Chains A and B, each alone.
Chain A
Amino acid sequence: DAGVIQSPRHEVTEMGQEVTLRCKPISGHNSLFWYRQTMMRGLELLIYFNNNVPIDDSGMPEDRFSAKMPNASFSTLKIQPSEPRDSAVYFCASRGTGGTEAFFGQGTRLTVV
């Protein structure tokens, strides 16, 4: 298995633009997580899906952020409009049914200028 696949690996965008981050979880996994990592705030859970349904989105910072999981093999995290303070590394992770550990993708480094 190729593991959790995120795209793009790097994204540089101008303030006010829409940004879409993509994630393909490991096949057969039924839980998917989006995290944001910054030096100041560490690793933050943004949203968590189970069987494609959002279970906990309390970590989504504001309405500019939205996440979808239209099927078991794909999820997106969208920021519209983007702001410089959104600059961070965004990780997607997935976990299997009955599994105990999460598997992380390599992350998308987002820079908003």
Chain B
Amino acid sequence: GDSVTQMEGPVTLSEEAFLTINCTYTATGYPSLFWYVQYPGEGLQLLLKATKADDKGSNKGFEATYRKETTSFHLEKGSVQVSDSAVYFCALTLYNTNAGKSTFGDGTTLTVKP
């Protein structure tokens, strides 16, 4: 079946450090890929997305590129801030098969220290 594997956390960085959170996927078709972010006490919210191979999603300084050859969608940010501390989820959705069900990774907790 479809699956998403994320880098295990927690990840602790100092402010202004470079961030990478790895995400790889397995899917039976051609999924759309997403990164969601969850701040404490809140629901998940979309951070960025990419719908086809080689697309780059970006938002708030975060980027991720849809790599079909390596089945990856790694999240990066050049300089993290304390306010980026949250849980990050990688997800995929297949719209032509599996009735459009989304599959989420286990989440990676990021803590940024001043």
Residues of A whose CB lies within 8 Å of any CB of B are 4, 31, 33, 42-43, 45, 48, 50, 55-56, 91, 93, 95, 100-107
Contacts and interface: CB of A to CB of B under 8 A. Distances in A.
Nearest to A6: B43
Interface in B47-63: 49, 51
Contacts of A105: 43
B1 to A, nearest CB: 11
B32 to A, nearest CB: 5
Interface size classification for chain B: 20 to 34
Interface of B: 32, 34, 36, 41-46, 49, 51, 89, 93, 95, 99-102, 104, 106-107
30 contacts: A42-B106, A42-B107, A43-B104, A43-B106, A43-B107, A45-B101, A45-B102, A48-B99, A48-B101, A50-B99, A55-B99, A55-B101, A56-B101, A91-B44, A93-B43, A93-B44, A100-B32, A100-B34, A100-B49, A100-B51, A101-B46, A101-B49, A102-B102, A104-B36, A104-B43, A104-B44, A105-B43, A106-B41, A107-B42, A107-B43
Interface centre among B46, B89, B99, B102 (most CB of A within 10 A): B102
Contacts of B89: 43
B99 A104 contact: no
Nearest to A100: B32
Nearest to B43: A104
> Which residue, A55, A102, A105, A107, has most C-beta atoms of chain B within 10 A?
A102
Nearest to B48: A101
Contact of B34 (A48, A55, A101): A101
Contacts of B51: 100
